[in-house]
Structure 1
Amino acid sequence: MVIGAGLGGTCPSPVDGGHRTATGNGDARRIAELEREVQELRRANEILKVYFAKELDLELESTTSPLAVGTPGEPALTEPPPAAPPAPSARSPRPIHWSPAQSSMIPDPPRPMAEFRALGPIEAVVDGRVLDLGAPKQRALLALLVSKVGQPVAVDVIVEELWTGNPPPSAITSLQAYVANLRRVLEPNRAPRTPATVLRTYGRGYLLDNHVVEVDVHRFSERASAGWEALDRGKPQQALRELEAGLMLWRGQAYAEVADTTYVRPEVARLEELRLSVIEGRCAALLAVGAHEMAVAELEAFTQAHPLREYGCELLSLALYRAGRQADALAVLRTNQRRLAEELGIDPRPALQHLENEILNHAPALDWRPRPGGGA
């Protein structure tokens, strides 16, 4: 008897009646091959799961290592993971998962090295600390430079403005000392003999670099523009927030130390006109949200200080009418008409004349109506 005849010996198999068929051993061999293919597919599937998990930061349900996948009795698979799949097309982008390390690579907006406040007496802030700017002329020098931030100011102009046209022989020496002192306080950590970054020498003059400083004058202008835009779009609540934030930046006369100099006076006048317009815009926003009594209090003080500003008078008259004070509303318009005629020899603008007629006729258009959604 030959041992192992069933595995290819010459002894007939008792199963097939002594006749070895072509399908017996072939089926067994095919089944074995299929089992091996299934095992290979399982191992490849585990490898792909691990690979894509690493790529997409997903958690695996299986803890099987791709380098030790196998079945009992077979050697572990030690081949490296398969090559990366083709890059996804534009129509099916691969999702991006930001990790803390990746998000920290996005730089924050650069912080200004110095902040200047010129809507009042000049102030400078570095690292959250208000600086001591020294003697009056040194403060005036800084205010002069802030008024032209980003533009060079010639030494001759500085000397002319600081000493009002009568500079002493030591003026240049004093100016150089003021510049050195300001550089020291504005850049306390600057190494010796290194170029200044904030207060720079530019040709025959000096400038404050607008790329590394911030000025409250610019923030005020931005708030004013945003407030008027919101008012035009029918969003009075947003307009109030913007305009009030802008007005809160004011602490007195702009560029107070050099407000009367020839060089800065036009900028001071521009900012004052802008401030008055913002006050009027804020009162218009108060009327738009129905705060008539508050608007009356604000506008009465405003028109007393600026009686010839017709828009302020128009707003006050409307606020008084909406507050139930029709006689006072008409008195404001007629007082304004008389003052314009006596002091300037002109008539009120058509808008005020039209408002007077509407108040006399109790026009429904003058009544306040809340905006849908609050007008925020």
Structure 2
Amino acid sequence: MQFEILGPLRVTDAGPVKVSGQRRRILLVALLTHANSAVSNEELLDWLWPRCPPRSAQATLHVYISTLRRALEPYREPWQPAERLLTHPTGYLIKVADGELDVLRFERLLAAATPALDEGDAQRAYELASEALAWWRGPALADAAAVDAARGEITRLEELRLSAETVRVKALLALGRHRDVVPELTRLVAHYPLHEPFYVLLMIALSQCGRRADALAVFRRARTVLAREVQVAPGRDLRRTEAAILAGELD
């Protein structure tokens, strides 16, 4: 069985597994963000009814759990104990085997890509980071995007995604593929306009392609965006990169 939450929830087991109903989908996402660890009833209720849970919330949670169990273990007899979605003294726990959850696959690949880049193996770093990013199909925990309880995990995963993107483009630069990385970095700058490291890398790539004027234009764009959106000046790395380009140190 495969569980995917780096995008809209998707469950497959020799074919799609239907998880119907928005709250049931949110419930499964909540459990998967704590895969192989118990999630308390109180926390699950906070995911499902963050502001004003109904009086029947606890009973409804039990119904949702039963529905999920039938979806995840359709051949289990009612008298047989659940093997996938377990009852815990404080709540519930979903068991996920190695390789069954996209988040765990992504994190494992990223954890291998980062030291590969640090150790000078740019090709391996590029391949690992690319494979890691291939697991993303959209915003993290898309089904729970409006759930306050999910925001911490969404932020954590998006930051890891930025790390993977950074490793990937740094690896391409280390491989001398400056022209290849310019369109990728242009896309990343447009998608993450407040993330200064992408501006820095784009400036470096353009400069090493012989496009000094374009690289300096990126600095001016970054300065304008940062001033307009968050009222700050370019950071040290951006300023140093501009100075290096003006001095001809990155050509």
TM-score (norm 1): 0.62
Contact residue 198 and residue 213 of structure 1 kept, 8 A? no
Structure 1 residue ranges without an equivalent (≥5): 1-113, 368-376
| 1:175 correspondence with 2:61 | yes
Correspondent of 2:117 among 207, 211, 231: 231
Displacement, 1:308? 2.3
Indicate the SS of the match to 1:282: helix
- Contact conserved, 1:198 with 1:212, CA < 8 A, in 2? no
Distance (whole Å) between structure 2 residues aligned to residue 341 and residue 351 of structure 1: 16
Q: Is the 8 A contact 1:122 1:139 kept in 2?
A: yes
Aligned pairs for 1:20-59 within 5 A: none
User: Could you say if the C-alpha distance between residues 135 and 353 of structure 1 is closer, same or farther in structure 2, counting changes exceeding 3 Å?
Assistant: closer
Structure 2 unaligned spans of 5+ = none
Task: Note the C-alpha offset of 1:246.
Answer: 0.8
- CA drift at 1:158: 2.1
The one-letter code of the counterpart of 1:318 is I
1:84 match: none
Match status 1:352 vs 2:212: no
What does the per-residue CA deviation read over 1:223-279, in whole Å, with 9 as the maximum and x for residues that have no partner?
A: 112111111111111111111111110111111122332322100011011112211
SS at match of 1:352: helix
Which amino acid letter does the alignment assign opposite residue 28 of structure 2?
L
Find the counterpart in structure 1 of residue 93 from structure 2: 207
Looking at structure 1, the residues matched to 128 and 121 of structure 2 have their Cα atoms a distance apart, in angstroms, of 11
Higher-helix-fraction structure: 2
Which fold has the larger relative contact order, with Cα–Cα distance below 8 Å and residues 6 or more apart in sequence? 2
Distance change >3 Å, CA 150–CA 213, structure 1 → 2? farther
1:271-310: CA deviation from partner (whole Å, max 9, x where unpaired): 0111122112211112112222221111112112222222
RMSD across aligned positions (CA)? 2.1
Alpha-carbon deviation of 1:190? 2.5
- Aligned partner of residue 173 in structure 2, secondary structure: helix
Per-residue deviation, residues 82-133 of structure 1 (Å, max 9, x unmatched): xxxxxxxxxxxxxxxxxxxxxxxxxxxxxxxx3211101112223x322011
Equivalent residue letter for 1:220: F
Equivalent residue number for residue 125 of structure 1: 12
> Cα deviations across residues 125-181 of structure 1 (Å, max 9, x unaligned)?
23x322011222211111111111122222233233213332334333332222112
Assess, with a 3 A threshold, how the Cα gap between structure 1 residues 191 and 286 changes in structure 2: closer, same or farther: same
- In 2, the alpha carbon distance for the partners of 1:213 and 1:302 equals 28
- What TM-score comes out, normalization by structure 2 length? 0.90
Q: Which residue of 1 aligns with 2:169?
A: 283
Q: 2:39 aligns with which of 147, 153, 165?
A: 153
Counterpart secondary structure, 1:116 = strand
CA contact (8 A) 1:243 1:282 kept: yes
SS in 2 for 1:351: helix
- CA distance 1:304–1:211, shift in 2 (3 Å): closer
Q: CA deviation at 1:192?
A: 3.3
Aligned positions, number: 251
Partners of 1:160 and 1:166 within 8 A in 2: no
Cα 1:328/1:157, change in 2 over 3 Å: same
Seq. identity, %: 39
2: CA distance, partners of 1:212 / 1:227: 19
Residues 183-222 of structure 1 mapped to structure 2, 5 A cutoff = 183-210=69-96, 214-222=100-108
Q: Secondary structure at the match of 2:100?
A: strand
**In structure 2, the residue corresponding to 1:263 is in which secondary structure?**
helix
Tell me, what secondary structure is at the counterpart of 1:214?
coil
Distance verdict in 2 for CA 1:344–1:201, change over 3 Å: same
| CA displacement at 1:334 relative to structure 2 | 3.1
What is the rounded CA distance, in whole Å, between the counterparts of 2:157 and 2:56 in structure 1? 34
Q: Name the SS for the 2:93 alignment partner.
A: strand
Work out the CA distance in 1 between the residues paired with 2:238 and 2:43.
46
Q: 1:246 aligns with which of 129, 132, 148?
A: 132
Q: Is the 8 Å Cα contact of residues 286 and 292 (structure 1) preserved in structure 2?
A: yes
What is the rounded CA distance, in whole Å, between the counterparts of 2:224 and 2:15 in structure 1? 52
Aligned to 1:362: 248
The alignment partner of 2:223 has SS state of helix
- Structure 1: distance between partners of 2:150 and 2:223: 35
